[in-house]
């Protein structure tokens, strides 16, 4: 630690060890706080629930001590307190040595990824010097194979105060080697207590895992899914304007009742958080587990302060002492983040059997675990690109990356940049470049197919191409920004060009072969000969069986030779111009006329007259009042635009 640093160094210390080995007495001797606050705990002389106490260590070092029960019947309470600790105090009574709960608690703190620890022999005044050294040797040898970096064994007496200063010095040394919890991250408080307090309302407490929160801020309570305002804050029982990581925190919140919250819930800030009912994880089974962890095995998952029943949904059997990947299907929702550690206990009889690391807190349900590129030691960049590739064009929402990948919120931009060209930012998402390139290749083939099937068209509509960005039958919706990027990428790659609302292959021009040109001429002559007795498209298709009638008519419209009358009729522009003039002449003489009057005047049946009158209405030549049509004030001179 930098001795000149003005910012306090804060961390969480948790006790571990067998019942009646002096954990609570040691905490009281260190802090002056009796963590057995319940009458039953004091009457029975055992710790039942979690206890908490502040421990200033000098030189800007502040510890929050979590005292846990040692009785095997309260391991679930121990786990609620053990998650989130930075330094473990493995408490062993000098007059008894290592006991069963010592071993289980040691396994738990190892499974939870605690990196630093201090073995403490309590009740040294009750042990003869020779016995004390024997126990010290036993503990030292037992911890030699532990993955935790342990300080040398210390012997103390809480009653006499012997060895406490050495323990405080060891805690300061351990603190110097701890990576501090990030303040520039989303706030996260696993809740271990909920109560109502007069004047404050609903109060939730816990040890802050990350980030900070201030009075007046809004937090989200999960899995309740409720926003609540922070009315007031206490840190270790003292009013504070703000709570940071590694501190014992109490929040008085407005917006949720006490009955709606419970231990295991979480208060968070920021985006990307959600309660999940499935986890993909790397799991290790303790060597002493009674049986392999196989599919359908029912287990208890302890994550944060939550305990949730689950079944192993996918993954091969994991033998005792081995590691493997599993999907855990949870029977109740919990809040998890990539990289979270958890402990597994058997369903019955209830014993600790292993633990693991969350690799994906929101795995895609349709994807098999064996098909996923998941690894316990994957870098965040590797995990991000793998998930982006899994998501295809749906991409990954940028606001959710910090939670899913398990990185500080402030580091998301840097991780995306570190992936480099493999990821493409598209609005509020990132998409794997390979997915963009595959979409361009697929759409280029679709465009070629369109040209082959519609040789007389100018090209494919841009709207149709954008709609085809999502693969056929794909249920996921592709964001507009992703579709825009695919279109732009195709243009940049030379796969197509866009002109107005039409997409075509570079250099594509509609053309007519000899047979099509002949049919085009016959169609135009048929329409010209028909004059105002305009045939429908269906009638033309029956007359020209097997010919691309609609495509040729669209070609004639683009050439300007014919005009659309309605959805089922087209006519030569000259014929329509002649009809307009005849209609104007008739109405100038009649002043107004019904279709029956115009039928007699123009010599047309209703079959042909009505579509032409409606065309004249749309063109602004006439206006209709009931069944009578009159000329509009201004009459267009041509049928051009």
Quick one: CA dihedral 464, 469, 471, 475, positive or negative? negative
Q: Is residue 366 part of a domain?
A: yes
CATH of the domain at 133: 3.40.50.300
Region 549-553 average pLDDT: 82
Q: Are residues 255 and 293 in the same domain?
A: no
Token readout for 302 is 């302890």
Domain that holds residue 259: 188-268
CATH of the domain at 621: 1.10.10.10
Question: Do residues 111 and 323 touch, judged by C-beta distance below 8 A?
Answer: no
| Domain C-terminal end among 176, 208, 238 | 176
Q: Which of the residue ranges 386-390, 427-431, 469-473 would you say has the lowest mean pLDDT?
A: 469-473
The torsion defined by the Cα of 602, 608, 609 and 615, in degrees rounded to 10, comes to: -120
User: How many helices (H) and strands (E) would you count in the chain?
Assistant: 18, 33
CATH of the domain at 324: 2.40.30.10
Confidence of residue 4 (pLDDT cuts 50, 70, 90): very low
Distance CA 412, CA 399 (A): 9
Q: Is residue 1 part of a domain?
A: no
Q: Is residue 31 part of a domain?
A: yes
Q: Are residues 71 and 198 in the same domain?
A: no
**How many domains, the chain?**
5
| Domain C-terminal end among 149, 176, 203 | 176
pLDDT higher than 50, residue 213: yes
Region 505-521 average pLDDT: 78
Q: Are residues 162 and 20 in the same domain?
A: yes
| Domain C-terminal end among 351, 371, 391 | 371
pLDDT higher than 80, residue 623: yes
Q: Are residues 106 and 165 in the same domain?
A: yes
Q: Is residue 638 part of a domain?
A: no
Q: Are residues 64 and 194 in the same domain?
A: no
Instruction: End-to-end CA distance of the chain: give it in Å, rounded.
Output: 79
Residues of the chain with pLDDT > 70: what percent?
90
514-530 and 573-590 helices, crossing angle to 10°: 10
Q: Is residue 636 part of a domain?
A: no
Q: Are residues 18 and 156 in the same domain?
A: yes
Q: Are residues 30 and 169 in the same domain?
A: yes
pLDDT higher than 60, residue 339: yes
Q: Are residues 366 and 392 in the same domain?
A: no
pLDDT higher than 70, residue 424: yes
Nearest to 528 by CA among 570, 585, 581, 580: 570
pLDDT at position 193: 87
pLDDT at position 44: 35
Q: Write the pLDDT tens digit of every residue in 219-247.
A: 999 999 999 999 999 988 789 999 988 88
pLDDT at position 404: 94
Q: Are residues 499 and 423 in the same domain?
A: yes
pLDDT higher than 90, residue 76: no
pLDDT higher than 70, residue 641: no
Q: Write the pLDDT tens digit of every residue in 152-170.
A: 999 998 888 899 999 999 9
Q: Is residue 459 part of a domain?
A: yes
| Residue located via tokens 């200033």 | 56
Q: Are residues 427 and 505 in the same domain?
A: yes
Q: Write the pLDDT tens digit of every residue in 284-318.
A: 999 999 999 999 999 999 998 899 999 998 776 89
pLDDT at position 39: 39
Q: Are residues 15 and 162 in the same domain?
A: yes
Q: Is residue 516 part of a domain?
A: no
Region 494-507 average pLDDT: 92
Q: Are residues 366 and 420 in the same domain?
A: no
Q: Is residue 181 part of a domain?
A: no
């Amino acid at each position: 630690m930098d001795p000149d640093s003005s910012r306090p160094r804060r961390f969480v210390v948790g006790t571990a060890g067998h019942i009646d080995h002096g954990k609570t007495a040691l905490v009281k001797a260190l802090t002056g706080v009796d963590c057995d606050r319940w009458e039953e705990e004091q009457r029975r002389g055992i710790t039942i629930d979690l206890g908490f106490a502040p421990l200033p260590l000098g030189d800007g070092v502040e510890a929050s001590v979590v005292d846990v029960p040692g009785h095997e019947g309260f391991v679930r309470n121990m786990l609620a307190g053990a998650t989130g600790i930075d330094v473990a105090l493995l408490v062993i009574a000098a007059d008894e040595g290592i006991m069963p709960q010592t071993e289980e608690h040691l396994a738990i703190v190892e499974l939870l990824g605690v990196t630093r620890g201090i073995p403490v022999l309590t009740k040294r005044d009750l042990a003869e010097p020779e016995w004390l050294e024997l126990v010290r040797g036993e503990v030292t040898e037992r911890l030699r194979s532990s993955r935790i970096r342990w300080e040398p064994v210390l012997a103390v007496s809480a009653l006499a105060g012997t060895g406490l200063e050495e323990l405080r010095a060891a805690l300061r040394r351990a603190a110097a080697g701890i990576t501090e919890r990030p303040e520039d991250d989303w706030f996260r408080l696993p809740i271990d207590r909920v109560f109502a307090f007069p004047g404050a309302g609903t109060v939730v407490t816990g040890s802050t895992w990350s980030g900070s929160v201030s009075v007046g801020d809004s937090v989200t309570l999960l899995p309740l899914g409720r926003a609540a305002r922070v009315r007031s804050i206490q840190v270790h029982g003292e009013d504070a304007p703000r709570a940071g990581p590694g501190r014992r925190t109490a929040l008085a919140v407005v917006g949720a009742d006490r009955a709606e919250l419970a231990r295991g819930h979480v208060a968070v800030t920021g985006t990307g958080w959600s309660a999940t009912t499935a986890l993909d994880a790397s799991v290790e089974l303790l060597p002493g587990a009674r049986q392999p962890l196989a599919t359908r095995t029912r287990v208890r998952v302890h994550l944060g302060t939550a305990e949730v029943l689950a079944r192993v949904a996918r993954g091969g059997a994991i033998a005792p002492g081995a590691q493997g990947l599993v999907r855990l299907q949870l029977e109740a929702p919990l809040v998890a983040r990539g990289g979270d550690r958890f402990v597994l206990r058997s369903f019955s009889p209830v014993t600790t059997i292993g633990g693991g690391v969350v690799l994906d807190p929101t795995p895609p349900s349709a994807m098999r675990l064996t098909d996923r590129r998941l690894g316990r030691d994957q870098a965040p960049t590797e995990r991000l690109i793998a998930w982006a590739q899994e998501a295809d064009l749906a991409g990954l929402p940028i606001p959710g990356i910090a939670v899913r990948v398990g990185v500080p919120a402030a580091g998301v931009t840097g991780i995306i940049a570190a992936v480099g060209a493999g990821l493409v930012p598209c609005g509020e998402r990132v998409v794997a470049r390979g997915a963009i390139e595959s979409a361009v290749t697929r759409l280029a083939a679709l465009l070629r197919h369109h040209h082959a099937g519609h040789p007389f068209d100018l090209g494919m509509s841009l709207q149709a191409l954008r709609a085809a960005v999502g693969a056929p039958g794909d249920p996921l919706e592709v964001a507009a920004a992703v579709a825009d990027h695919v279109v732009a990428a195709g243009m940049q790659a030379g796969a197509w060009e866009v002109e107005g609302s039409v997409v075509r292959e570079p250099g594509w021009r509609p053309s007519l072969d000899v047979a099509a040109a002949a049919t085009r001429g016959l169609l135009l002559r048929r329409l010209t000969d028909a004059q105002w007795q305009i045939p429908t498209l269906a009638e033309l298709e029956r007359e020209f069986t097997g010919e691309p009638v609609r495509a040729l008519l669209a070609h004639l419209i683009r050439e300007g030779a014919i005009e659309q009358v309605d959805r089922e009729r087209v006519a030569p522009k000259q014929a329509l111009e002649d009809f307009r003039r005849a209609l104007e002449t008739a109405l100038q003489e009649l002043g107004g006329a019904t279709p029956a009057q115009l039928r007699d005047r123009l010599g047309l049946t209703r079959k042909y007259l009505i579509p032409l009158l409606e065309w004249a209405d749309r063109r602004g030549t006439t206006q209709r009042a009931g069944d009578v049509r009159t000329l509009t004030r201004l009459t267009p001179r041509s049928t051009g635009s």
